[in-house]
Amino acid sequence: MAPLPSRRSALLTIGGTIIALVRPARAEPRSHAVLIDKMKFGPMPSEVRVGDSISWINRDPVRHTATARDKSFDVDLPASTEGRCTVTRAGAVDIICRFHPGMTAKLAVLP
């Protein structure tokens, strides 16, 4: 017959289990991509979380930006280039191109 665990050992095990249940594991940051083509932002990625990065890929022969109206990021994209930003705030982010105000998008960022 196996010996019973000590009271202290049992409490530490229970405490560790409770902490694991209260504090969920944080997923590693992910990378997402948005294609800019024909003067339009492509579909915004889903499941973007704070800490994730977004690559903005400009396929147009003109310069664009991916600019968050809340000023959380501003990526300059000369013609046929790619730029990257890290998302730092949760919530809905309105995005514009500073050079082409008709180019808009909305990104949903999860905490």
Q: Could you tell me where the beta strands, DSSP code E, fall in the chain?
A: 31-37, 40-41, 48-49, 53-58, 64-68, 74-77, 82-86, 91-96, 104-110
78-91 confidence digits (pLDDT tens):
999 999 999 999 99
For 14-28, how does the pLDDT look when each residue is reduced to its tens digit (9 = 90+)?
444 444 445 556 679
Q: What is the pTM of this model?
A: 0.76
Give 17: exposed, middle or buried? Use CB within 10 Å, 0-12, 13-18, 19+.
exposed
The fold of the 31-110 domain, in CATH, is Immunoglobulin-like (2.60.40)
Nearest to 41 by CA among 19, 17, 67: 67
Higher pLDDT, 2 or 80: 80
Q: Where are the domains of the chain?
A: 31-110
| 31-69 pLDDT per residue, tens | 999 999 999 999 999 999 999 999 999 999 999 999 999
